[in-house]
Amino acid sequence: MVLREGVAGPGELLAAQELLDFAWGQLRAGDSLFDRQVRHPMLTDPVELYAHFARGGYRHRQLDELAAHLGSLDSFRAIEMMQNRRLAVANAQRVIDPGYRCDWAALAADTWLGATPEPWMINWMTGYNVTHTVFHLTDWGSRPDGLPEPLADYLATWLPVWADIWQEVGQWDLLGELLIVDACLRQPVCDPGSWQQLARVQHEDGLMPRDSEPVSPDPHQAFKDNEHTAVVAVVAGTVTLSRSLGVARATV
C-alpha cells in the first residue's frame, strides 16, 4: 500500500521496499506459496498472499499460471467461506490478473453490508466483516467505483456512528479499519477527531495499541498482541493521506 500510494517519505518508502524484499525472500521468491498451493489446492491463502507481492512487482510465473487455472475452476470459486473472504480471493485474483472476471455485484450483495441491514444490529466481528468487504470491493481504496452506490450511501450515513461507538469503547484496531473504509468512499464522512484520538493513544515508540487494555510490558508479547494494529494504522494513514492529497488512482 505504502509503495502503491507513494505518499510516504523517502525513509518510509525505503523501509516498505526492504520489508517486501525481506518477506519475498522468506517465501523463497514465491516458491513457498507455490508449493503450499500445489499441496493444498483448495486453500485460498497462497493466492491471497501472493496478490500483495504481485501488486508490488514481485511475480512468480508458475503462481500466475496456477492462480489463473484455479480461478477457472467452479470448485475453487465455490469453496465455502465467509462472504467477505470470498471477496478477498476475488480481489486477489483481480490484482494478479486484471482480466479476471467475476460477478462483483452478486458477491457484494451476498455480504452483511450488501443487505444494507439495520445499522443498530451490528457487533464487533460484523464490523470487521464490513471493513473487509469494502477493502476488497474497492481494492483498498484504489477503485472507489467498486462499491455499489446503495452500499456507499448506506455507509455514508452509518459509518460515522460505528466509528464513534467503537472509539468510545477504545477499540482502536477496529476504529483504524473504519477510517480506512472512510478513505475508500468518494467523500470521507467520519470525524477527523478520530485521527487525533488515535494519535493520543499511540505510544512514544510508535506502538499502536489494539484497544484500551494495558499493553504487556514484555516487548515480544506487546508486539504479538498489537502487530495487527500497526498494519491497520499504516494502511489507514497511507490511504487517507493519499486521498486527501487527491492523488489520482491507477486502475490496476
Residues that bind another protein (CB under 8 A): 118-122, 157-158, 160-162, 164-165, 168
CB-based contacts of 239, cutoff 8 Å, min separation 6: 1, 5, 140, 141, 180, 183, 184
CA 249 to chain centre: 16
Dig out the grid coordinates for 102 from the structure: 467475476
- Identity of the residue, 148 or 160, whose beta carbon is nearer to another protein in the bound complex: 160
Dig out the grid coordinates for 116 from the structure: 444494507
What is the DSSP code (8-state) at residue 40? S
- Identity of the residue, 80 or 118, whose beta carbon is nearer to another protein in the bound complex: 118
- Identity of the residue, 47 or 122, whose beta carbon is nearer to another protein in the bound complex: 122
Least distance between another protein and beta carbon 137 (Å): 22
Sign of CA dihedral 79, 81, 83, 86: negative
- Identity of the residue, 104 or 158, whose beta carbon is nearer to another protein in the bound complex: 158
Least distance between another protein and beta carbon 124 (Å): 11
Dig out the grid coordinates for 100 from the structure: 479476471
Least distance between another protein and beta carbon 173 (Å): 18
Least distance between another protein and beta carbon 206 (Å): 31
